[in-house]
Amino acid sequence: MALLPNVSMAVKAKATPLAVQRIQLELLLQKTGPVRILSPIPFATPLAILFHLNAAAGYPLVWLGLFYIVVFSSYLQRRKLEAHGPMRDDELASILRGRVRDIFLLGAMWGAAPWLLSAHQSVEDLILVSVFIMGAISLGAAIVSTHHQTIAAFSIPAAVGLVTNCMWHGGPVGWVLAVCMTLYLVMTLKWTFQQADLLEQSLSVRFEKEDLARRLAQQVELVENADREKSRFLASASHDLRQPLHAISLFTSVLERSRFDAQSEQTIARLGHSVRMLNQSLDTMLDISRLDAGAVQATLQPVPVHELFVSLSHTFSGSAEARGLQIRFRAPGDLVVLSDMQLLTRLLGNLIDNAIKYTHRGGVLVAARSRPPAVDAGWVCFEVVDTGIGIAREHQQRVFDEFYQLANPQRDRAFGLGIGLSIVKRLSSLLEHPVALTSKPHKGTRFRVWVKQQASVPTPASARPLDTGIAQAVAAMPADRKLPRHVLVIDDEPASREAMALLLSACGCTVHAASDLAQAQQLLAQNPIEAVVSDFRLPGDRNGLDYLLALRNTSPHLRTLLVTGETAPQRITDIRSSGVPFLHKPVRAEQLLDALAG
């Protein structure tokens, strides 16, 4: 198999000169068309008649007759070639030889002109013939300048006949004309040969570029096919990986809610942490592939910075506190930007997460301020400043590459996979929010993100102060969720179905489990079901989304929840647009219970 590309390249290497020969021959045939072949007759006829009248001899008429025979023979050959139709590759050489022969005969006739037009030439006659032949060589060489053979076939016989005749005539005029004609022939051949070489080189470059473009198009197609296959593989692999991980996550949650001895509880806690880390790694890697595939689309809308910072504080205050760090959020309460809330949260969240991971003491400041009118008017600058290890200048561009991490040679999973900043770069490009980095080793790092400012919206006065106490401003989630008493769980994966049933049962729900829609319909008819939780992929022609949409029409009192491991962009779009609440596998127990509690 490894030899195939070399064989292909060898075939193409032979095909390119053949294509050049074809174009050269086509140009020659265009320049020496039937009408142009007859064009020398108006020049040769009066010349022969003039010498015949002056010399009262028959040689000029003999020359003119031979000239007519050569011209009309070439004309008939050209007509025959025109009627032949498209040229095959194996015919190119023979057709070129035929044209060279006809051109040589025409050049030979001009070379014979000085000898046959007048046997006893005067100086005036010699000069007149020289002018005609030099004009014929100039025009003829330019017309047939596609090949070296055709140039030589016409120019050399015509010039040799004139040079030898001038030398035979002798005298100062004859020798001067002979020398000048020789120099003229050499210069004409050199110039026209250069034109032929330039044409051949231009055609070779053209076909090389076309061949390169074809190969590039093939490579692009291969890359696009590989990318599509990669996306399909990731979607399939993601679903297959999420299924068992979903069950593991729920089983672990059940264990965490049970009572064991201290050593067992510690082991279960470590198991839960490992499952969450695995889930986070899977989500992160899939985010990269979805961003590269263009599956993530931004929806720009006004985003209140206060609301954004409340969400970020709620997410990161705990992890900062666990590391003994201070985290502060500062921004005017009425500041609004134009962005995608979810994607901007992810962008800033990755910067904050990165700052917390690489800061050992001190803290992290997250600030937003509108720029003065003289500087970046109409933009809001978000800053994430830390007192961490800093980044040396030579590493500041590479930190945005995938899997590139500083101060983590052992690949400690506590520092993540090294993908966070690469996602920041992709989100920055997608949202058109420029990102800048300044840093000094051992002193800290400052990331800046510029977002277009939007007209302010009214903000409650109680929400406007925004500083260290922002975490206290976030309302806590109520501990006593009001879960439905009877829940129907539909999932064709036994492990996922059992894990969800076990978790909900532990929380006081009566669970009715079904592996397909037919069984689900029977359970729904026989039991006072209050909520239905369904997987997306189910046996048969209908999926879980279609079933839940139908239930919402026939039984609007039922709570519905879709649980899916799908990552294909089109399916995710369909699910979002349906309005059915959904969760992505693997689902954490808290997510599932919150969704069922409404």
Which CATH number belongs to the domain containing residue 435 in this structure? 3.30.565.10
**Claim to verify: residue 310 and residue 453 sit in the same structural domain:** yes
Residue 62, in any domain of the structure: yes
Question: Read out DSSP for 50-70?
Answer: HHHHHHT-SHHHHHHHHHHHH
- Residue 539 is given by DSSP the state S
Pick from 270, 235, 145: nearest CA to 195? 145
Q: How many helices (H) and strands (E) does the chain have?
A: 18, 12
**Claim to verify: residue 444 and residue 496 sit in the same structural domain:** no
Q: What is the pLDDT of residue 580?
A: 87
Examine the fold and report which residue of 169, 184, 206 is the final residue of a domain before the chain moves on: 169
Residue 2, in any domain of the structure: no
Q: Write the Ramachandran bin of 561: left for phi over 0, alpha for psi from -120 to 50, otherwise beta.
A: beta
Residues 191, 185: Cα–Cα separation, whole Å:
10
Residue 179, in any domain of the structure: no
**Claim to verify: residue 29 and residue 136 sit in the same structural domain:** yes
Residues 107, 70: Cα–Cα separation, whole Å:
10
Q: What is the pLDDT of residue 228?
A: 72
**Claim to verify: residue 257 and residue 305 sit in the same structural domain:** no
Residues 252, 246: Cα–Cα separation, whole Å:
10
Degrees to nearest 5, angle at CA 22 with 18 and 23: 120
Examine the fold and report which residue of 140, 169, 198 is the final residue of a domain before the chain moves on: 169
Instruction: Give CA 595 to chain center in angstroms.
Output: 40
Residue 162, in any domain of the structure: yes
Examine the fold and report which residue of 144, 169, 194 is the final residue of a domain before the chain moves on: 169
Residues 295, 303: Cα–Cα separation, whole Å:
22
Residues 26, 434: Cα–Cα separation, whole Å:
56
Residues 587, 458: Cα–Cα separation, whole Å:
36
Q: What is the pLDDT of residue 285?
A: 58
The model scores a pTM over 0.85 = no
User: Taking a C-beta distance cutoff of 8 angstroms, is the pair 381, 450 a contact?
Assistant: yes
Q: What is the pLDDT of residue 396?
A: 59
Measure the CA dihedral 393/395/397/402, to 10°. -170
The label of the residue with tokens 């050992």 reads 360
Domain count, the chain: 3
Pick from 510, 485, 481: nearest CA to 591? 481
**Claim to verify: residue 375 and residue 447 sit in the same structural domain:** yes
CATH number at residue 287: 3.40.50.2300
**Claim to verify: residue 469 and residue 496 sit in the same structural domain:** no
Question: Tokens in use for 506?
Answer: 């532990």
**Claim to verify: residue 457 and residue 365 sit in the same structural domain:** yes
Q: What is the pLDDT of residue 238?
A: 61
Residue 216, in any domain of the structure: no
Residue 220, in any domain of the structure: no
User: Taking a C-beta distance cutoff of 8 angstroms, is the pair 24, 199 a contact?
Assistant: yes
User: Taking a C-beta distance cutoff of 8 angstroms, is the pair 71, 38 a contact?
Assistant: yes
pLDDT mean for each 10 residues of the chain (598 residues): 39 58 87 88 90 83 93 91 85 90 93 81 85 90 90 93 89 90 92 90 87 89 79 64 70 74 76 69 61 66 90 84 88 85 86 86 88 63 87 66 50 50 82 86 86 66 39 40 87 84 86 90 90 88 88 88 77 81 80 82
**Claim to verify: residue 69 and residue 28 sit in the same structural domain:** yes
User: Taking a C-beta distance cutoff of 8 angstroms, is the pair 427, 343 a contact?
Assistant: yes
Question: Read out DSSP for 457-485?
Answer: ----GGG---STTHHHHSPPPPSS----S
- Give the residue numbers spanning the domain of 452: 301-473
Question: Tokens in use for 224?
Answer: 């696009």
Residue 334, in any domain of the structure: yes
Give the count of alpha carbons within 13 A of 515, CB side only: 5
**Claim to verify: residue 319 and residue 396 sit in the same structural domain:** yes
Q: What is the pLDDT of residue 243?
A: 66
**Claim to verify: residue 345 and residue 457 sit in the same structural domain:** yes
Q: What is the pLDDT of residue 240?
A: 64
**Claim to verify: residue 468 and residue 491 sit in the same structural domain:** no
Instruction: Give CA 29 to chain center in angstroms.
Output: 43
Residue 56, in any domain of the structure: yes
**Claim to verify: residue 259 and residue 340 sit in the same structural domain:** no
Query: Cα-flanking dihedrals φ and ψ of residue 513, to 5°?
Result: -105, 135
Q: What is the pLDDT of residue 570?
A: 72
Question: Tokens in use for 194?
Answer: 């250069």
